Structure 1
Amino acid sequence: MKTKLSQQRMSKTRRSCGFINGIDVDAEGSRGGLCLAWRTGMDVTLKSFSKWHIDVMVKEDGSQAEWRFTGFYSSPYSKDQNQVWDLLKILSQNGTGPWLVIGDFNEIMYSFEKKRGLPRDQRRMEIFRETLTECQLTDIGFSGASFTWERGNLLETNIRERLDRGVANDEWISLFPMGRVQHLPFSTSDHCPLLINTVSVNSYSRHHRFHFEVWWTMEESFEEVLRGIWESSSEPLMEKLKSLQNGLEEWAGVIKRKKGELKKKLSQELEMLLLEERDDETLARIIDTKIHLNMEIEKD
């Protein structure tokens, strides 16, 4: 959401990230814009879209269950909110079955979901809660750094609100009883990335295939490891290639774990810093940690 890109530019960006399949909604100038992207292995059918939402049906390979997903973006302006909540009510009437809605609702449900700044209008929060109740949607349990920075106030007033969330109906919760929404630490935005876990009891595993990873060639130890594995084997060619595959995967696993541990450590540090009270020293540590984490992500 808020891609701020035209449909053509967003499509190009999406494809460069490896998502061949997608639905892109134009931004209005430099404002708004939505994108829903998915990889192969999922059957996604578009139901409707607007500048506020993308509504689809989802079916994953190996699963008999089909469920509904709506990516939702509510207006930050109070003059538009009645129209947006009416849209959500209409969507709730246009289908049955498991339904998940996630996105930036630009509204909080209760006053404790905001830290600092002017108190949120009680009537606005009531209308939001009433809308979710009418749509039979329940807030999904969350964890992590769930507060969103209010843009423009990071250094001035340190206002934080829980604007990003996931809500679902009872049928979706029954389909995915372990389904949870996690707010991930954010290093390049004032909003929280939302990770939805849909692991079910009937999860399945795919047959493992060997894939050569381009990033291996960027590691200093790659050539030495490759040469060592190849020259240490006197087996016939096909067996030798198999040994090479196994050896490279084992080596890559060690390297990847180290990289993963570093990113996890930085993410945890960032999450703790984001939950602390802010002073100049804490803000400087947040910036330094974000830069370090972004460098590691850029390497990937």
Structure 2
Amino acid sequence: MTRYYLRSLIGSNEVCFVGLIETMIEDNSIIEVDRLIGSDWDFFHFPAMGKSGGLLVLWRRDITQFEVCMTMDQAIIGRSILPNQQKWFVAILYANKNYYTRRLMWNSIGSMISSDIPVIMGGDFNYCLDESEKGGRRFSYSVGAQEMADFLVDNDLHDLGFVGPRYTWSNNKSGNNKIWVRLDIILMNSEGLRLAPLATVKYLIRLALDHCSLLLNLTPVSPRPGSRWLRFEDIWMTYPITRKLVWKNWTKNDYGQPNEVLNQKCSRTLKVLFFWSRNKLKELGELKL
């Protein structure tokens, strides 16, 4: 079932890169990959421990390239060259539930991220950062959630949002025991947003899985309504964290004529504030004076 679904998804959306998490496979071979996805794909597999975990990334060798830079049981990290020759830092995550173990992942990835290189990071983060992203049980802003939020700010990473189901995972129980959570997200840094300002993420219906599949489109055919014009909101100034966001993005090196440098700084900083507010201040309209 999964094989046919994956092939259908790839064929319908011209997918050139796939990340699979929690494969629960200890060993893999090119023959098995050919059966799964076809003969035009290369892959890298991080094996599962018994029947737990496992990560697999696959890419179309004829139109894209991927170089693995670091692997661990929680992530596969590498550099990808897309069909348009853009070079991206890509990380596929399956974050551990233990925040001590997750801290190792945050530190390892953070040490590799550069503000000059576009970043795509996606997968199962095993935490949500907002009460609106959880249903069926009370939301708790734990130490792990705080460390994840700090990681996003420190590394200039922004949730792209989504179109589709509200939650990406369910424990498939019934009644009062049922839980829904948005655990799976895709992030981009400011440089990535500059190169792909109209990027969209679609959550697909769960099929034979307990998680939704995520589909990232860097170049949608038509722009989203209202996506061309971003407007500064005065209320952003009332949140201390925005000072850090502005300072981090304004102090980056830009090149060109003075007016070009100013435009680059303004555009980058405004986009960062916009994506931050869209994900953290969902009720911004109600907060306006």
- Short-chain TM bin: 0.5 to 0.7
Unaligned runs of 5+ in 1: 202-300
- SS of the equivalent of 1:173 reads helix
Alpha-carbon displacement from aligned partner over 1:235-275 (angstroms, at most 9, x marks no partner): xxxxxxxxxxxxxxxxxxxxxxxxxxxxxxxxxxxxxxxxx
**What is the TM-score normalised by the length of structure 2?**
0.63
**What is the TM-score normalised by the length of structure 1?**
0.61
Map residues 249-268 of structure 1 onto 2, 5 A cutoff: none
Unaligned runs of 5+ in 2: 1-20, 222-289
Alpha-carbon displacement from aligned partner over 1:59-115 (angstroms, at most 9, x marks no partner): 233x2321121111100234423223223322325x841111000000111122111
Question: May I ask how many residue pairs the two structures share in their alignment?
Answer: 198
In 1: Cα distance, 2:88 partner to 2:190 partner? 12
In 1: Cα distance, 2:43 partner to 2:121 partner? 18
Partner of 2:56: 35
Partner of 1:264: none
Alpha-carbon displacement from aligned partner over 1:17-53 (angstroms, at most 9, x marks no partner): 2153011111011100000001221122222211111
Q: What is the deviation of 1:173?
A: 0.9
Map residues 1-300 of structure 1 onto 2, 5 A cutoff: 1-8=21-28, 11-16=30-35, 17-18=37-38, 20-39=41-60, 40-61=62-83, 63-92=84-113, 96-151=116-171, 153=173, 157-199=177-219
In 2: Cα distance, 1:155 partner to 1:27 partner? 33
Residues 12, 50 of structure 1: alpha-carbon distance in 2 compared, 3 angstrom cutoff: farther
Amino acid corresponding to residue 34 of structure 2 in structure 1: R
Q: Which has the higher helix share?
A: 1
Same amino acid, percent of matched pairs: 23
In 1: Cα distance, 2:64 partner to 2:85 partner? 12
Amino acid corresponding to residue 33 of structure 2 in structure 1: R
Alpha-carbon displacement from aligned partner over 1:110-149 (angstroms, at most 9, x marks no partner): 1221111243234332221111111110111211114133
In 2: Cα distance, 1:132 partner to 1:167 partner? 9
In 2: Cα distance, 1:111 partner to 1:149 partner? 15
In 2: Cα distance, 1:158 partner to 1:35 partner? 29
- SS of the equivalent of 1:142 reads coil
Alpha-carbon displacement from aligned partner over 1:184-242 (angstroms, at most 9, x marks no partner): 111211111010001179xxxxxxxxxxxxxxxxxxxxxxxxxxxxxxxxxxxxxxxxx
8 Å contact kept, 1:88–1:135: no
8 Å contact kept, 1:175–1:200: no
Larger radius of gyration between Structure 1 and Structure 2: 1
RMSD, aligned CA: 2.2
